[in-house]
Chain A
Amino acid sequence: MTEAKKELEKVKKEIVVTGNEKPQVGVYVCDCGINIAGVVSVPDLVKYAETLPDVAVAREYKFFCSDTGQNIIKEDIQSGLINRVVVAACSPRMHEPTFRLVCKEAGLNQFLFEQANIREHSTWVHMKDPEGAFEAAKDLIKMSVAKARELKPLEVKTVSIEPACLIIGGGIAGMNSALDLATEGYKVYLVERTPTIGGHMAQLDKTFPTMDCSACILTPRMVDVARNENIELLTYSEVVEVTGYVGNFEATIMKKPHYVDQEACTGCGVCVDYCPVVTGNEFDLGLATRKAIYIPFPQAVPGKYTIDMDNCIKCGICAREDVCEPDAIRYDEEPEYMKVKVGTIIIATGWDLYDPTGLKQYGYGRYPNVIDGLQMERLLSSTGPLDGKPTRPSDLKAPHSIAFLQCVGSRNFREGGNQYCSRVCCMYATKQARQYKEKHPDADVYIFYMDVRAFGKGYEEFYESAGKNYGINYIRGRIAEVSEGEDHSIIIRAEDTLLQEPMELKVDMFVLSCGLESRSDAGEVASLVRVQRSSDGFFMEAHPKLRPVDTLTEGIFIAGVAQGPKDIPDSVAQAKGAASSAATLMAKGEVEMEPFFAVVRPDRCIGCGMCVENCTYGAIELIDDRHFGKIASINQALCKGCGACSGNCRCSAIDIFGFTGEQIFSIIMGGEL
């Protein structure tokens, strides 16, 4: 710091506000470019603000969040003109931290600031009613000034952060977040519901547009995760409870019983040869079978066996000494519960494929040769049930003609459909079509599309080449219905919307390029960790542009398709972003908490204990006070300031800092007490 700057620091007056002196409110009405000034007259709002009680100054500026704008406020504070700040601008979600910092830097307690949201609560939502918007903006300013007059200085509370992260979901997103955080030295608990990590990416054969073998790039990462000392890998486990808050979450994890001792099991696989129970293999989407004792796929991590108790008949063969030499079988294993303390949580729960059974016109589930895109992926996969030589399910012959239908369950504005674009189907269908043509150059391959969305790096080139060099026929138009012809062939009736004529086509196999959906239990996960979902069912980000990996709950981040449909590179990028955001928070070692907690007025409290019952955080207890007798007492370290106690207190003996009864009454009365 230069000498001059040091000098300046010295002269800077520390503004001491006890809360007892006469409030002097500064009102700063922001134009926000045309967002506010384009709908209401800001000069008139300033004039109005000047008439309000205790307002010492009111000013207009183009952008108060800019450096110059902030300095205007700072100068008024430092010159002693004002001791309360009201900024009438955007949502406090956007700039409350900015203006609190302005106060702090100018030497004023940051909680003597109040924001009037005249953008999201007036000019944006009443854009078509400028007069109404003006009246609303006036009242919002009046209400904020009324509250500002009642504000009291508060002290920030800091709490330490546990340098550990809980990651829910062990797909490509969760794994990447885990590896980044573990490399930075943080403890990671990676919880995966199935017996192996890898997620959907493990089911894919090749990845577009580079045609990298999915397993070849995925499995080394899986092994890295398992080997990393800082990662505690909890497969076949589920998070059942999350309590606490940023920096200090406590999660309860249920380890489901494998019925096979994971320490003892060597993964030799002899048990599989002896197991008499054959059932459908989830990993191959029912296209192949597995035994009741199984590993999901050969490269699974950890490569230890699990017994599927829904199908096991407990014949006892696998437990025989000559079958399981390490004596690892445990039929009576019970679920185990463990508690972990973490500072941050990343949700990377991924997606489910849209189930096309409900779309009766496409015959899925009715005609054997109608399959979905993920099943096609398994058929094409060299590790799949057919060793990468796709045949049609009805007769196991290689189809001579295949049709793909795009946007199945996506971009559908009818009842029950998903309105969003799933972002990957155009590319995966193009890739699958190319793969099939590589194996069978003389096959006829058709793709029925609405628009082809090839938006990523190298995607357009990939799509261009599919038509030009591989001879794949792209037909613009929706398929109206399909029926089954002789020999289980599929007869398609559609309209070619470029030629504007109806068409009929007979193909050997029909693939539905189904879209991605949020996990069927995303709602339960959302309630578990208390984050919100957008109307499409995916987890909601704190800001769609600027905070795409954060949630509205501090300390909880989202990565991968859990947030919305995306391809592998985007999922990985977001996973790294989420890891970085979590690390940024944890690197500080402590987090500042808003000091908005409950306070008891001992002279009013009768010790009824109602608040103790209502407090979810266990922050209230009844104590025996020497002067007041039995009264409620708040543990500020646990209190989150929700106000459930205060709203319910029949003696009005509990108040919430930042939202006191006095402050809210003054808002209701518009300052006219």
Chain B
Amino acid sequence: MSRIQYPSNIRIVRVPCSGRVNPFFIIKSLLRGWDGVVVSGCHPGDCHYVSGNLVARRRFAILQDLLNLFGIEPDRVTFMWSSASEGDRFANLIKKVTKNIKRLGPNKKFESTW
């Protein structure tokens, strides 16, 4: 968005709605060795698909608890809201997430399963 620069260590997977993101996608990413996962959707109340992000928010709150139980640091999985017009917000959030994950270091929790 507007060519605002952000760290190059994220890879974007396109989904129709944050509501489409099955918890398995996040768990699979962590198993695969990605150091962190970000799910980004429309702001609550502004969902392009009416209420998908609200469904997602509830689901991720539960998932976050579950990941904690497995001993995965909460900062590895981030849920954030940014609209299509908020390029700078998106960039800033990615910068923040990258910083948090760098502090945690590589995700080696599931190394043995690779």
| Residue contact A647 to B21, C-beta cutoff 8 Å | yes
B80 at the interface (CB under 8 A from A): no
Residue B17, interface by CB 8 Å: yes
A143–B34 Cα gap in the complex (Å)? 14
Min Cβ gap A344→B in Å is: 18
In the complex, the answer to whether A124 meets B8 with C-beta atoms within 8 Å is no
Chain B 15-37 interface 0/1 with A at a Cβ cutoff of 8 Å (1 = within):
11101111111001100101000
Say whether B14 contacts A665, CB under 8 Å. no
* Residue contact B50 to A530, C-beta cutoff 8 Å: yes
Task: Tell whether B46 is near chain A: CB-to-CB under 8 Å.
Answer: yes
1/0 per residue, CB under 8 A from B, across A139-177: the answer is: 110010000000000000000000000000000000000
CB pair A644 B49 closer than 8 Å: yes
Residues B12 and A596 in contact, CB atoms below 8 Å apart:
no
Q: Does A565 contact B (CB under 8 A)?
A: no
Indicate which residue in B17, B22, B52, B85 contacts A532 across the interface (CB closer than 8 Å). Answer: B85
- What is the size category of the interface that chain A forms with chain B? 35 or more
Please provide the chain A residues from 621 to 661 with a CB less than 8 Å away from any CB of chain B in the complex.
Answer: 640-644, 646-649, 652, 656, 658-659, 661
Contact B8 A122 (CB under 8 A): yes
Partner of A669, one of B4, B15, B28, B85: B28
| B84:A540 contact, CB within 8 angstroms | yes
Q: Is the CB of A642 within 8 A of B24?
A: no
Q: Are B85 and A661 interface neighbours, CB within 8 A?
A: no
A323 touches B (CB below 8 Å): no
Return the chain A residue nearest B29 by Cβ: A668
Q: How many residues of B contact A (CB 8 A)?
A: 43
Most chain B Cβ neighbours within 10 Å, of A641, A642, A646, A648: A642
The CA of A648 and the CA of B24, in the complex, are separated in Å by: 10
Of all chain A residues, the one with the shortest Cβ separation from B27 is A668
Q: How many Å from the CB of B39 to the closest CB on chain A?
A: 10
* Interface contact B5-A128, CB-CB below 8 Å: yes
| B85 CB contact (under 8 Å) in A121, A128, A540, A646 | A540
Q: Which residues from A are CB-within-8-Å of B6?
A: 125-126
Within 8 Å by CB of B11, from A139, A614, A644, lies: A139
Choose the segment among A60-68, A73-81, A130-138, A376-384 that binds chain B (4+ C-beta atoms closer than 8 Å): A130-138
Q: List residues of chain B with CB within 8 A of the CB of A659.
A: 14-16, 20
B100: Cβ under 8 A from any A Cβ: no
Cβ of B103 < 8 Å from any Cβ of A?
no
Given the contacts A124-B3, A540-B84, A648 and B11 also touching, CB distance less than 8 Å: no
Bound-state CA distance A596–B23 (Å) is 20
Interface on A for B, CB 8 Å cutoff?
Answer: 92, 117, 120-122, 124-129, 132-133, 135-136, 139-140, 143, 526-527, 530, 532-535, 540, 552-553, 596, 614, 616-617, 640-644, 646-649, 652, 656, 658-659, 661, 664-665, 667-669
Q: A616-B49, A647-B20, A649-B22 are in contact. List 20 more A-B contacts (CB 8 A).
A: A92-B14, A121-B12, A122-B8, A125-B4, A126-B7, A136-B8, A526-B46, A530-B46, A530-B48, A614-B55, A643-B19, A644-B51, A646-B22, A656-B16, A656-B20, A658-B16, A661-B24, A664-B15, A665-B24, A668-B25
